[in-house]
Amino acid sequence: MRTGYAIVLVCLAFSAPLLVTGCGGDSPNDQPAVTDAVRPTIPPGYSSKTIHVKFREGTNMELPLEVLPPSLRNAVASHNAVFSLPRQKLNELQARGMSRLGKTLPNLNLWLDLTLQSGTDAAEFLSELKRLPSVETAEPAPLPQPPPWITPNFTRNQGYLNPIPDGIEARFSWTIPGGNGGGVTVYDVEYNWLQTHEDLSRASGVIVLLNPGDSNNPPGFEELGCPAPCDRINREHGTAVLGEMIADNNRRGVTGISWGANIGLAPANTVNLGYNPANAIVLAVANGSAGDVILLEQQNPVCGVFDYGPTEVLSSVFDAIQTAVAQGFVVIEAAGNGGVNLDHAACSRLFDRTVRDSGAIIVGAGYPPTSGVDRQREGFSTFGSRVDLQGWGSGITTTGYGDLYLNPDCPAVPDFWYTGDFNGTSGAAAMVAGAVANLQGIAFAQSGIPLPPLQIRELLVQTGSPQLGNTAEHIGPRPDLRQAIAQLTHSAIDVALDIHSGGAPNPINNTNGEGVISVVILTTETFHASTVNPTTIRFGATGTEASSVQSALEDVDGDGDIDMMLQFRIQNTTIQCGHTSASLTGQTFDGRAIKGSDSIVMEGCRK
């Protein structure tokens, strides 16, 4: 048994770069390149006792140490596979993924965890190990880091559930079959959770994903004065993430974005394996199925500095993500709270999508609307062209911590704690994970087939509310589930629309901005207005603006069929002088998109 390890892939300070990281180039402080004369060292954030090595294809993994020279073999105290699933199962995952993608995938059986004899110089060992022709990759084992979370600001709302641009349109997605995440499992990879919280019934009794004989081992963080199991960070962080995604929809406490989804719990740090988020990913893959979501609530130092970025900087994690994506899992990854520019030369193009792409959705943190600088990058958020999407980076109301609410009868019992400001790229990533789960739930409900991971990534990026502020510090758009669902569903049905404004051709008085306008969806031989879900309807200049203030079913045109009459506040439609038509969009109760338009004439406009 050994202690837990966690962290990142940074450049070692010697001449031979880590093979898969491509480390090299400019250092963070523009120092000269390291020369062969510099003694190798293990940088901060790495273990000086344990090495992770990936051998080349053809190596006999039954006797892997036989390929090592005696000087290295004698320095190894023990060795274990990095990935704990049986070799046959790992081979099946590789073969199935290759068949699905039509390209080569990493062989996870080639990874080995080497624990060194006491007194061994780990840096010298690593330097010699990487020179062996049988070794593809070698790196020091990472050490645990605090999860990406920032001190709360005590904001008291769940505006992230609301319509755009403030929220992600989660409430709208709930009106579509499957749009609450039903039929999807979200696997959370982190340190710990409070499964007995009153608002997390879907987490109650869920068996944590572990190897036989292993157990969860939440790490401590001495620099934060929080010894293991460090409940105030580890347990409360995991509880807040779960609440944001799957809190009960019961009119008590908070409601999760994907309150209909199931949850899987995959510890990143265990007693037997130490810090091994890569194996947690693969355990989730073995437990779930295509269409499920894996959320990586981890961060690691990147680009040669002790500032946090995406955990896929670890080669084993990158390989595990590729394997998961190849099985049809959507992997959501926190960008990290280090404020790092992933496009900097010091990152050695590790996050250049044209060089390598794990397939994960990397999520940065943007300011919430209450900040006054909505959708601009939070200063702590890592950024760059590889970051796909953003979520709120602060002001997230969810379960845990107790700064917002403590049960007055038992204030010390964390089962009743709530926070008004869960923060960081952790909160942002959980928000995106919820959006993905809802889209996959809709896809399952419509066709029984989930969206491919890369398609769902592209869909959310293309339809999201755009980043504001300094877009050169790229964190991407905030998800817009309404627009994503509109593209996901079949082509919109054209409906017959009649704007009732007091005559033909539908005059609208521009001087009466406080008034209402009546719009009728007519029943025809091919479409019944009664099938329309009025809560999904938007009307205005483009058909995405105003929601109705009143709706009713009645025979408006006197043909004996029931039509739908809706009323909208003119000031909310953004219809202005010069407009000659207005449009409507929405959904039927079974999730089909509809659209319609009618001509208008603006009155009261200056000539």
Sorting pLDDT into bands at 50, 70 and 90, what band is 605?
Answer: confident
Q: Where are the beta strands (DSSP E) in 232-313?
A: 262-267, 269-270, 274-275, 293-296, 300-301, 308-309
* Separation CA 565–CA 394 (nearest Å): 40
* Separation CA 552–CA 197 (nearest Å): 41
Q: Where are the domains of the chain?
A: 159-488, 493-603
* Separation CA 113–CA 111 (nearest Å): 7
Instruction: Single out the residue of 270, 176, 187, 184 nearest to residue 228, CA to CA.
Output: 270
List pLDDT tens digits, range 301-319: 999 988 999 999 999 999 9
* Separation CA 607–CA 11 (nearest Å): 68
- Name the pairing type of β-strands 330-334 and 293-296: parallel
* Separation CA 552–CA 567 (nearest Å): 9
User: Above 80 in pLDDT, residue 349?
Assistant: yes
Select the CATH number that applies to the domain covering 493-603 from these four: 2.60.40, 3.40.720, 2.40.50, 1.10.238.
Answer: 2.60.40
With pLDDT > 90 as the criterion, what percentage of the chain qualifies? 72
Inter-residue contact 587 to 536 (CB < 8 Å):
yes
CA 504, 508, 511 angle in degrees (round to 5)?
145
List pLDDT tens digits, range 8-45: 322 223 223 332 333 333 333 334 444 445 778 998 99
pTM (2 decimals)? 0.70
Q: What residues does 569 pair with on adjacent strands?
A: 516
Average pLDDT for 47-58: 96
List pLDDT tens digits, range 167-213: 999 999 999 999 999 999 999 999 999 999 999 999 999 999 999 99
Q: With respect to CATH, is domain 159-488 assigned 3.40.50.200?
A: yes
List pLDDT tens digits, range 454-486: 989 999 999 999 999 999 999 999 999 999 998
User: What DSSP element (H or E) covers 584?
Assistant: strand 581-587
pLDDT of residue 1: 33
pLDDT of residue 8: 31
Inter-residue contact 63 to 57 (CB < 8 Å):
no
Place of tokens 């995959």: 266
With pLDDT > 70 as the criterion, what percentage of the chain qualifies? 89
User: Above 90 in pLDDT, residue 374?
Assistant: yes
* Separation CA 335–CA 390 (nearest Å): 9
The residue ranking higher by pLDDT, 259 or 544, is: 259
The SS3 of residue 246 is helix
Which own/partner pairs from 205-212 qualify as long-range (CB within 8 Å, at least 24 positions apart)? Answer: 206/263, 206/264, 206/265, 208/265, 208/266, 208/267, 209/264, 209/265, 209/266, 209/267, 209/280, 209/283, 209/284, 209/287, 210/267, 210/270, 210/283, 211/84, 211/270, 211/272, 211/273, 211/283
Residues 6+ apart with CB under 8 A from 251: none
Backbone Cα Rg of the chain: 27
Question: Maximum Cα–Cα distance for the chain, whole Å?
Answer: 95
Residues 6+ apart with CB under 8 A from 574: 540, 541, 542, 545, 546
List pLDDT tens digits, range 229-287: 999 999 999 999 999 999 999 878 999 999 999 999 999 999 999 999 999 999 999 99
